[in-house]
A and B are shown apart, each in its own frame.
Chain A
Amino acid sequence: MRSNLFILIFILLVCSACGGHGKRSHERKFLTIASLKGPSSMGIIRFIDSVYNDSAKNIKISIQDEPIQVRKMILDGSADFALLPSNMAAILYNMGFDYRLAAIPVWGTLYLFGGDTSVKSWEDLRNKRVYAMARGMTPDVLFRFLLEKNGLDPDRDIILDYSFPTHLNLSNAVAAGKADLAVLSEPQVSLVMKRNKNVHRIFDLNSEWNKVQGFPIAQTAFIVREDLLRNDPGLAERIISACERSVRWVNSYPDSAAVLIVKYNILPDAEVAVSAIPGSNMNFVRARGIREEIEKYFAVFYKMNPDIIGRKMPDENFYY
């Protein structure tokens, strides 16, 4: 009996030893940029286009549907650059993943929208049923914060309904008229408004946030692997500034950008893209100058639930 156990342990040891060389070294011939199918990719669409047209093929752009897929590429170290929700970037940094925040490219894409025409002020939301995505996630926390700041108790004065947990479920519910008031982000808002003409934007939560906090929502983070910044800062800077130029171009030429957004399958049609571009508040701002503002944003989460940013405020090394 005892010898069986030892044999088992021995086998396990051999197995783990064999797997030992699986630890990857980061010697790659190309750079990988992980982005999200949404405003993150809409902003850098011109950069994406230039990468695809570049014959050298030394940059790979991987556009994911969900933030956790981008997160996976940080966990296994396969992404050199990544665009993902800024609270997720803070969690990863606080958990010891060596990525630094280069910029905030997207500033709040959340809207309260729906078919209910009676809502004109925050007070009108009293005792209404508002649908939000997953409890405790960014949109939920931000909306709860705004409710509180506008004199409504999120748990008592309003019914927050989480029956539609993903943005697809919730979009469909609003489009089908099953949810009269919902908190959702661009470009889903524009997509739904195209499908159901009775639905309109009620509050731009970003500007409501701005009223309360004096600064817009630092929603999306653009992060870069630390060793790349250290070993080849010139290369990193070239890519960061290419993305910066792309965002500026998208805001200046939304019609041309919309064509590219459809071409790379970020959104199904140009009309929606043209509506979603101004709604997405894209503005590429380097992180080093706005640390205080970003911390103010993180502080809101920290107060509600420290876990959302990884249990502590990221230190100064986070801001590149």
Chain B
Amino acid sequence: MKISITKKQYLGFASVVAMLILWQLLAMYFDSDVIVPSPGKTLITAIGLFNDPDFISVVGTTIIRGLAGFVISAFLGMLLGIIAGLSSGFNALLQPFLVTVRSVPVIALILLALIWFTPGSVPVFIALLTMFPFICTNVIDGIRSVDPDIIVMAKFYRISRSRIISEVYIPAIMPFIISGASSAMGIGWRAIIIGEVLSQPRYGIGTMMQAEQTFLNVDAVIAWTIIAVLISYCFEKVIRWSEHKIVTWRD
């Protein structure tokens, strides 16, 4: 067990190194900071960003937008998902809506949101619409995965509906929610940043990326990108960690 983890880590490390080498080669090939800046220069720029007095506001605002979108979509997704999982009639009603929301191009949503909402709330709205279907669909699948015999048995012993939900359904759908949340977060961050680039709120990673792109500071665009990736990675870790906790709790 221990050996396989170190091997995994080694492979992960090798893959990061390979990406950096590829990046360095591209930088050397183009030999221009305004096309592909070198990893070293970008790292210096990224460190410089941390010293920017606005850094906390910029990153904090983007994270708050992400969390707001996530909390709202998790709440709606679980609520509607549980109802739809239990009632096939409601599920039939909900499915076309989910399919529509999932297949509308993100950019179309953003263009409409730009007309409907203030710049700061556009990214939240986009995040909500991109994350909600993932969580909802996974909750529905989770509910359906519950062995119907257990429910029949529980009902036979006259166990209350609320106890069935909290002791049978919720533990059963937890892994589904976690995996839904993980995919939702991955897509959600990207959607938020696209939303910020186009809506130009006062603070936001996307706002900064757009400005740096205009000023041809390619290293700063990449540095902000790396920060966005790191945020996404941290949240992924948090979700995985909470999954671990929940699984241990269940055992």
Contacts and interface: CB of A to CB of B under 8 A. Distances in A.
B21 A9 contact: yes
A136 B217 CA distance: 15
A171 to B, nearest CB: 14
A310 interface: yes
B22 A95 contact: no
A145 B69 CA distance: 36
Contacts of A308: 215
A189 B13 CA distance: 56
Given A135-B200, A136-B211, A16 B25 contact: yes
A16 B22 CA distance: 10
Contact of A1 (B14, B33, B119): B14
Contacts, number: 61
B215 A165 contact: no
Q: Main SS of the interface on chain B? A: helix
Given A1-B14, A8-B18, A163-B119, A134 B114 contact: no
A304 to B, nearest CB: 12
Interface residues of A, number: 29
B104 interface: no
B183 interface: no
B38 to A, nearest CB: 14
A162 interface: yes
A137 B207 CA distance: 12
Given A92-B216, A95-B33, A137-B214, A163 B118 contact: yes
A13 B214 CA distance: 32
Contacts of B118: 163
Interface in A2-41: 5, 8-9, 12-13, 16, 19-20
A136 B10 CA distance: 44
Given A5-B18, A75-B34, A95-B34, A134 B200 contact: yes
B114 A165 contact: yes
Given A8-B18, A163-B119, A169-B114, A310 B29 contact: no
Nearest to A17: B29
Contacts of A136: 211, 214
A12 B21 contact: yes
A164 interface: yes
B21 A91 contact: no
Contacts of B64: none
Interface in B216-230: 216-217
A12 B199 contact: no
A137 B211 CA distance: 8
B22 A164 contact: no
B198 A165 contact: yes
Nearest to B31: A23
A52 to B, nearest CB: 32
A96 B202 CA distance: 31
A148 interface: no
A237 interface: no
Contacts of B200: 134-135, 162, 165
Contacts of A49: none
Nearest to A9: B21
Interface in A151-172: 162-165, 169
Contacts of B61: none
Interface of B: 10-11, 14, 17-18, 21-22, 25-26, 29, 32-35, 114, 118-119, 198-200, 202, 207, 210-212, 214-217
15 contacts: A1-B10, A1-B14, A9-B18, A12-B25, A16-B29, A95-B34, A134-B200, A134-B210, A134-B214, A135-B202, A163-B114, A169-B114, A307-B215, A307-B217, A310-B215
Given A91-B216, A95-B33, A165-B198, 19 more contacts: A1-B10, A1-B11, A5-B17, A8-B18, A12-B21, A12-B22, A16-B25, A75-B35, A91-B215, A95-B34, A95-B216, A134-B200, A134-B214, A135-B207, A135-B211, A163-B114, A169-B114, A307-B212, A308-B215
Interface of A: 1, 5, 8-9, 12-13, 16, 19-20, 68, 71, 75, 91-92, 95-97, 134-137, 162-165, 169, 307-308, 310
